[in-house]
């Protein structure tokens, strides 16, 4: 088996040997039956932030941010991602252990993914990705499939939908679960190889999703359309809940005939970093679905979206993408 094919389960206590991987996945499944465990599939990387203050490295990746965010909201989480067997990968593993998130890793033969991040004139992040990130590959071996099968919810974020065989493997794994499925398209221009292929892969999974999340930048990059045009396209595909984010313009939820919108929440303190806003929004909404079920009326969806906007706003008041809650909500 090549390095790229190797995969294993790593709990908060540390890695599990290959011989014990099946047992670890089984115990994770038992926990999932007792608690609403969410499995997040996607990216894990090092964000290298460059600005006038210098260069700083922060553990990140959209899927990793969602998994850690869910755990910080009280929901047990497992991350399925590609990670290198290198010092950067060790930092990612340590970060996940610190936040009590289980990792099922595909070992990258090119090392750990890295995104060099600068900010545009509006303060939004601009990314350049290394070779590992551009060749990202997750292998859905038994531990990953077992975790997905046993999950209460599966969240997919920043997945290479333009890789047909990899998307087909993901679809096969999803076919074995009764979990709530939430998908954030979350394309990155620097990792996008085939725009039409990405759209086809994303939309192939859309009919089975309970929730789809897209942003105004996704609409432009993938469809050359406005976010409102993309909302209508996804509603027409039959997705029960479509979440459309508009950056500084807030967000809208369409939920089977119910439409609610909310602005970005106004909180004390300056906005420091918008990198984690979308991931925090998704974490908050998935936690709501898993812990309380989908709202049934306008008031319920308005409250869920308002809460997500509060959490996104709090997250933006610190550097990096670690989910934060408004001060009144933070645990003592």
Is residue 43 one of the residues assigned to a domain? yes
Given its phi and psi angles, is residue 244 left (phi above 0), alpha (psi -120 to 50 degrees) or beta?
beta
Is residue 105 one of the residues assigned to a domain? yes
Is residue 332 one of the residues assigned to a domain? no
Is residue 191 one of the residues assigned to a domain? yes
Concatenate the DSSP letters of all residues of 150-194 into one string: H-SEEEEES--TT-HHHHHHHHHHHTT--SEEEEE----GGG-S-
Q: 149 by DSSP, 3-state: which?
A: helix
Give dist(CA 11, CA 101) in Å, integer.
7
Is residue 331 one of the residues assigned to a domain? no
pTM score, whole prediction: 0.88
Is residue 193 one of the residues assigned to a domain? yes
Give dist(CA 192, CA 160) in Å, integer.
8
Q: What is the CATH number of the domain that holds 36?
A: 3.40.1190.20
Overall number of domains in the chain: 1
Domain ranges, residue 21: 3-326
Tell me what the pLDDT averaged over the chain comes to.
Answer: 89
Confidence of residue 328 (pLDDT cuts 50, 70, 90): low
For 283-294, b where at least 16 C-beta lie within 10 A, e where not — what string? bbbbbbbbeeeb
Is residue 256 one of the residues assigned to a domain? yes
Q: For the chain, what is the total number of helices (H) and then of strands (E)? A: 11, 15
Average pLDDT over residues 312-322: 92
Give dist(CA 215, CA 283) in Å, integer.
15
Confidence of residue 35 (pLDDT cuts 50, 70, 90): confident
Is residue 292 one of the residues assigned to a domain? yes
Mind listing the pLDDT tens digit for each residue in 121-135?
A: 666 667 899 999 999
């Amino acid at each position: 088996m090549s390095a790229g094919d190797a995969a294993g389960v790593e709990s908060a206590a540390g890695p599990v040997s290959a011989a014990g991987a099946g047992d670890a996945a089984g115990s994770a499944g038992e926990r999932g039956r007792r608690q609403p465990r969410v499995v997040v599939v996607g990216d894990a990387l090092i964000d290298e932030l460059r600005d006038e203050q210098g260069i700083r490295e922060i553990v990140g990746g959209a899927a990793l941010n969602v998994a850690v965010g869910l755990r910080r909201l009280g929901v047990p989480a497992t991350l399925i991602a590609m990670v290198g067997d290198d010092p950067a990968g060790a930092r990612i593993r340590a970060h996940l252990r610190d936040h009590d998130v289980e990792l099922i890793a595909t070992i990258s033969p090119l090392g750990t993914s890295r995104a060099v991040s600068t900010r545009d004139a509006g303060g939004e992040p601009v990314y350049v990705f290394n070779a590992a990130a551009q060749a990202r590959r997750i292998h859905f071996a038994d531990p990953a499939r077992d975790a997905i099968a046993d999950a209460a919810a599966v969240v997919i974020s920043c997945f290479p939908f333009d890789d047909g065989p990899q998307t087909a493997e993901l679809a096969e794994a999803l076919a074995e679960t009764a979990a709530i499925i939430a998908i954030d398209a979350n394309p990155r221009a620097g990792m996008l190889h085939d725009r039409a292929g990405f759209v086809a892969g994303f939309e192939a999974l859309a009919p089975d999703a309970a929730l789809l999340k897209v942003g105004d930048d996704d609409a432009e990059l993938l469809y050359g359309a406005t976010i409102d045009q993309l909302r209508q396209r996804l509603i027409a595909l039959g997705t029960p809940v479509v979440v459309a984010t508009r950056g500084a313009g807030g967000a809208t939820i369409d939920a089977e005939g119910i439409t609610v919108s909310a602005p970005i929440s106004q909180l004390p303190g300056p906005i420091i970093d918008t990198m984690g806003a979308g991931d925090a929004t998704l974490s908050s909404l998935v936690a709501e679905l898993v812990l309380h079920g989908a709202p049934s009326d306008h008031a319920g969806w308005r409250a869920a979206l308002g809460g997500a906007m509060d959490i996104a706003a709090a997250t933006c008041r610190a550097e990096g993408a670690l989910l934060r809650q408004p001060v009144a909500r933070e645990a003592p």
